[in-house]
Amino acid sequence: MNSVVTVVGKDSVGIISTISGVMADNSINILDISQTIMDGYFTMIMLVDISIATKEIKEIRAILDEAGVKLGVSVTIQHEQVFQAMHRI
């Protein structure tokens, strides 16, 4: 099962490293990653495979939220199908 992780906020050192660390710690494989500046904000998008993740998605979300607070950015994780439904016919 694939999920889309987004990170939005002020750019700083260590964002990708921290978020990737969370993924590695929980057996989540990163399939694709891109980053850009949108409306003045650092925006990172990561496509991840959580099918063999060692934790429930609820816990992963809580860990990402916590990491986001420390980095001063907002982190979300949603199922890929949410984006498929909205943007692909």
Partner 1 sequence: MIFTPFEVAETVNMFTNQHLDIRTITMGISLLDCISHDSKIARDRIYDKIMLKAGNLVATAEKIEAEYGVPIINKRISVTPISLVGGATDDKDYVNFARTLDRAAKETGVDFLGGFSALVDKGITKGERILMDSIPEALSVTDRVCSSINLGSTKYGINMDAVRDMGHIIKKTAELTKHADGIGCAKLVVFCNAPGDNPFMAGAFHGVNEGDSVISVGVSGPGVVKCALEGSKGEPFDVIADKIKKTSFKITRLGHMVATVASERLGVPFGILDLSLAPTPAVGDSIARIFQEMGLEYAGAHGTTAALCMLNDAVKKGGIMASTHVGGLSGAFIPLTEDEGMVEALNVGSLTIEKLEAMTSVCSVGLDMIPVPGDTPAETLSAMIADEAAIGMANNKTTAVRVIPVPGKTVGEWAEFGGLLGGSPIIGVNKFSSADFINRGGRIPAPVHSFKN
Binding site for partner 1 (CB under 8 A): 1, 3-4, 6, 8, 32-34, 36, 38, 43, 45, 47, 56-58, 61, 74, 76-79, 81-87
Q: How far is CA 42 from CA 30, 47, 57, in A?
A: 19, 17, 25
What's the CA gap between 46 and 80, in Å, rounded? 11
Nearest to partner 1 of 13, 39 (CB atom): 39
Nearest to partner 1 of 24, 85 (CB atom): 85
| Nearest-approach distance from CB 40 to partner 1, in angstroms | 13
Strand order in the sheet with 41-49: 29-38, 41-49, 2-9, 73-79
| Nearest-approach distance from CB 46 to partner 1, in angstroms | 9
Question: Please, are residues 11 and 43 in contact by the beta-carbon 8 Å criterion?
Answer: no
| Nearest-approach distance from CB 1 to partner 1, in angstroms | 8
